[in-house]
Amino acid sequence: MADPDPTRPLDWVFPDTADGIAAAIAADATILWANSVLFEGHPIEAVMGQVRIVGQLPALMQLYDDKFGTNRMLEQAGLPVARSFLMARDGRPGVVALADVQAALAQAGLTFPLIVKPVRGRGSQGVSRVADRNGLIAAATALIESAKFGDTLIVEEYLAGEEVTVTVMPPVDGGSHRALRPVRRFNQEDGVAPYNGDVAVTANSVAIDEAELAQPAVQAMLDACVRAAQLVGARATIRIDCRADGQGDYKLFDLNMKPNMTGPGRPGRDDQDCLSAIAARADGWSFATLLENMLAAAW
């Protein structure tokens, strides 16, 4: 829009529809930032090769939006990943029935507290920590009955240590993926970071300092995150949530092919730095510089 209203978010974007993409190209856009959840058959596939794109391949984003499948792939590749299994009201191959959860926990070697979350979700929406079997059944039943996230859930080990988020930048000019400085999450609610739509991440997140960055456990985690980005074929920025176990070793638990990429700039949005922007600022990048580095990876 030629004269966007700062109070109207949709004035600042083109819709991720065939008409929206056509309108962007008609307005002389030569690069599209696919800051949206892509999938096989998404309208952007029709213009791939006509314009440059900042974003993931739609088929890969759809594939790796499955958090359980992604974690199992990373685990099979030798990366440290939180243990988990799938659960639904009724069992089927590869999915445990709600009534059989106690036996599944014993088989997986998992003990309470645990995390219950959707297979496909955004941020911490639908995520909860449960202290016992009754809490697990209640949380799972509520999620399934809401039908907001589908009928299949992940039961995951709860990692009691510090939680951090790692932003991994894509290769540029023949280079390789590289991780930005981890961002610590604090002031969690019952062991879970609140959804950023309810609490701005600037209120509960801070980049770690140089001394922490040099710790072997942190460096091992960063290496694992870079390897994960390579394995999922990331062509744009991704964000990986990690958490330390009782021994201080970090495990990956949530790879986001489309990180929440917000920043300040419009009136009323001064506190809207995202986790990736917080990481970038720690190394001297403004939000605009972060976007410029993302743009450099257009394909």
Whether the per-residue pLDDT at 268 is higher than 90: the answer is no
* pTM confidence score: 0.93
Structure tokens at 14: 């083109």
* Shared-domain flag, residues 240 and 119: no
Mean pLDDT over 268-278 rounds to: 88
Residue 269: what pLDDT? 81
* Shared-domain flag, residues 275 and 169: yes
- How many structural domains are present in the chain? 3
Of 142, 157, 172, the residue at which a domain comes to its end is: 157
Beta-sheet pairing, 31-33 with 114-118: unpaired
Residue 195: what pLDDT? 73
Whether the per-residue pLDDT at 2 is higher than 90: the answer is no
What is the percent of the chain with per-residue pLDDT over 90, rounded to a whole number?
A: 82
Across 52-66, 93-107, 206-220, 253-267, least confident range:
253-267
Spatial distance between the Cα atoms of 85 and 105, rounded to a whole number of angstroms: 9
CATH number of the domain residue 127 falls in: 3.30.1490.20
* Shared-domain flag, residues 132 and 190: no
* Shared-domain flag, residues 169 and 289: yes
* Shared-domain flag, residues 176 and 253: yes
Spatial distance between the Cα atoms of 221 and 89, rounded to a whole number of angstroms: 35
Spatial distance between the Cα atoms of 185 and 207, rounded to a whole number of angstroms: 9
Summarised one tens digit per residue, pLDDT across range 15-52 is 999 999 999 999 999 999 999 999 999 999 999 999 99
Spatial distance between the Cα atoms of 188 and 27, rounded to a whole number of angstroms: 43
Beta-sheet pairing, 84-88 with 31-33: unpaired
* Shared-domain flag, residues 272 and 189: yes
User: What domain range is 133 assigned to?
Assistant: 83-157
Whether the per-residue pLDDT at 122 is higher than 70: the answer is no
Residue 123: what pLDDT? 65
Rounded (5°) CA angle 242-246-248: 60
* Shared-domain flag, residues 254 and 142: no
Beta-sheet pairing, 178-179 with 114-118: unpaired
Beta-sheet pairing, 178-179 with 152-157: unpaired
77 in a structural domain: no
Bridge partners (DSSP) of residue 52 are: 31
Residue 158: what pLDDT? 97
Spatial distance between the Cα atoms of 83 and 42, rounded to a whole number of angstroms: 32
8 Å CB contact between 145 and 126: no
Residue 35 burial (CB < 10 Å; 0-12/13-18/19+)? Answer: middle
8 Å CB contact between 254 and 241: yes
* Shared-domain flag, residues 27 and 47: yes
* Shared-domain flag, residues 188 and 218: yes
* Shared-domain flag, residues 142 and 180: no
* Shared-domain flag, residues 176 and 260: yes
Mean pLDDT over all residues of the chain? 94
